């Protein structure tokens, strides 16, 4: 069995999620490749050593370029702040290594275009961490749409909102910098745009509005110094899909009570389905002639679910979705199928996000293909 050496850059929330996913994939699935946790890199050497020991990585680097140059590393997983995705991914691609990068792909459409072209030239497998699409219940929703169970799709209403920036005294972070791809659209909305494309396909045009509600935040916790904030706190957009469907999307990180509200309602001429990531193991479906909605629970009949639980209603969670994403990545690397968001599709998501920003800035409809 061919060995696949994993190199992980970053030890924050997403670094831990990736480490868990690689370890869980080895434990849960009969993989066609032998995964080894070859190396971990973090700018803080002490934290790198601690995390490597806890997560099972063999080697520690304080310089991410050293990890990319490590001959034992075949797949580079990037879980750093957004502005570092571009230099790290480009270096990994130049070294001919597969890349698994967290979302959003880049801090600008220009960077995303260069990453997309570099991936094509390198001819390696790439993936971007849109793990919500790997939920078995989302696969069911997509199949229902493609089978025509909802009839001709006429509308998509989507929202991804949380409340972690709702307190105006919450301090500045890199997420508050436009140059770091900050803002609610990049941080949360990119997931929603990727989901809309995954379920309904291309978007032709958008008309959007965005707002910075809290123009200043403390420079750090307890610090009286204020920093000016220019990124969006909330975004709303109208969508025209190439299929003829119409839609709306909105994203906010100011909504009190919302913790992971990636939700959508898709309506067709024969029915409607509803999903909310805060209840990620179920769909609500209403068909013509039905009063109200039927609740569909995820279970072992759906691909991927049975790997974790043999019984319906026992619930998958966020880390299981990440594990399913990794499993499909490994299958692709082994030329045994697999699917996911590669750099090409992630560029399409970035192009859609860029169109929304341009529309909000110029207050007009924008054709996505014009970007």
- How far apart are alpha carbons 147 and 261 in whole angstroms? 27
pLDDT digits (tens, 9 = 90+) for 183-192: 999 999 999 9
Confidence of residue 182 (pLDDT cuts 50, 70, 90): confident
Q: Is residue 1 over pLDDT 80? A: no
Categorise residue 346: left if φ over 0, alpha if ψ from -120 to 50, beta otherwise: alpha
C-alpha angle 301-304-307 in degrees, rounded to nearest 5: 95
Confidence of residue 181 (pLDDT cuts 50, 70, 90): confident
Q: Domain ranges in the chain? A: 3-131, 134-314+342-370
Token code pair at residue 152 = 């001709």
Confidence of residue 111 (pLDDT cuts 50, 70, 90): very high
Taking residues 306-330, what's their average pLDDT? 97
Tell me how far the alpha carbon of residue 255 is from its chain's centroid.
20
Q: Is residue 255 over pLDDT 80? A: yes
The CA–CA distances, whole Å, from 225 to 214, 230, 233 equal 15, 16, 20
Q: Give alpha helix (H) positions in the chain.
A: 13-28, 45-55, 64-69, 85-94, 109-122, 136-146, 184, 190-200, 318-333, 343-362
The residue among 237, 224, 154, 151 whose CA lies nearest residue 192 is 237
**Mean pLDDT, rounded, of the chain:** 97
Percent with pLDDT over 90 in the chain: 97
Cβ burial of 27 (10 Å; 0-12, 13-18, 19+) is exposed
The CA–CA distances, whole Å, from 88 to 13, 92, 122 equal 18, 6, 15
> What is the chain's Cα-based Rg?
21
Token code pair at residue 360 = 């909000």
Q: Determine the pLDDT at residue 337.
A: 87
Confidence of residue 338 (pLDDT cuts 50, 70, 90): confident
CB 229 within 8 A of CB 216: yes
**DSSP bridge pairs for 237:** 208, 249
Fold adopted by 3-131: Rossmann fold (3.40.50)
Q: Is residue 258 over pLDDT 90? A: yes
- How far apart are alpha carbons 109 and 53 in whole angstroms? 37
Token code pair at residue 70 = 């490590």
pLDDT digits (tens, 9 = 90+) for 138-172: 999 999 999 999 999 999 999 999 999 999 999 99
Taking residues 328-352, what's their average pLDDT? 96
Taking residues 48-75, what's their average pLDDT? 97
- How far apart are alpha carbons 13 and 134 in whole angstroms? 19
Percent with pLDDT over 70 in the chain: 100
- How far apart are alpha carbons 134 and 322 in whole angstroms? 8
Which of the four CATH numbers 3.30.930.10, 3.30.360.10, 3.40.50.300, 3.20.20.450 does domain 134-314+342-370 have? 3.30.360.10
Taking residues 2-10, what's their average pLDDT? 97
């Amino acid at each position: 069995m061919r060995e696949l050496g994993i190199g992980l850059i970053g030890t924050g929330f997403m670094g831990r999620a990736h480490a868990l996913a690689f370890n869980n994939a080895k434990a849960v699935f009969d993989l066609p490749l032998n995964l080894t946790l070859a190396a971990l890199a973090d700018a803080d050497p002490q934290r790198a050593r601690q995390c490597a020991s806890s997560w099972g990585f063999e080697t520690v680097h304080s310089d991410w370029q050293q990890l990319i140059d490590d001959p034992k590393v075949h797949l580079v997983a990037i879980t750093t702040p957004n502005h570092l995705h571009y230099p790290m991914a480009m270096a990994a691609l130049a070294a001919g290594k597969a890349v698994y990068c967290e979302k959003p792909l880049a801090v600008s459409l220009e960077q995303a275009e260069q990453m997309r072209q570099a991936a094509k030239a390198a001819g390696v497998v790439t993936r971007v961490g849109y793990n919500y699409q790997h939920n078995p219940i989302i696969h069911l929703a997509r199949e229902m749409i493609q089978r025509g169970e909802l009839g001709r799709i006429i509308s998509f209403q989507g929202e991804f909102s949380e409340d972690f920036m709702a307190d105006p005294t919450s301090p500045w972070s890199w997420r508050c910098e436009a140059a770091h791809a900050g803002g609610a659209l990049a941080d949360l909305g990119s997931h929603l745009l990727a989901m809309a494309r995954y379920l309904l396909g291309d978007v032709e045009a958008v008309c959007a509005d965005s707002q910075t509600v809290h123009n200043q935040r403390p420079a750090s916790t307890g610090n009286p110094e204020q920093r000016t904030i220019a990124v969006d706190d909330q975004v709303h957009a109208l969508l025209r899909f190439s299929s003829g469907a119409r839609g709306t999307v909105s994203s906010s990180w100011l909504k009190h009570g919302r913790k992971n509200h990636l939700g959508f309602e898709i309506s067709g001429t024969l029915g409607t389905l509803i999903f909310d990531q805060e209840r990620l193991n179920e769909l609500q479906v209403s068909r013509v002639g039905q009063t109200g909605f039927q609740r569909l629970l995820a279970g072992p009949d759906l691909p991927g679910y049975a790997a974790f639980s043999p019984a319906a209603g026992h619930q998958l969670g966020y880390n299981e979705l990440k594990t399913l994403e990794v499993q499909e990545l490994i299958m692709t690397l082994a030329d045994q199928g697999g699917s996911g968001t590669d750099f090409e599709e992630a560029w399409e998501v970035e192009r859609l996000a860029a169109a929304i920003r341009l529309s909000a800035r110029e207050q007009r409809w924008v054709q996505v293909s014009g970007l």
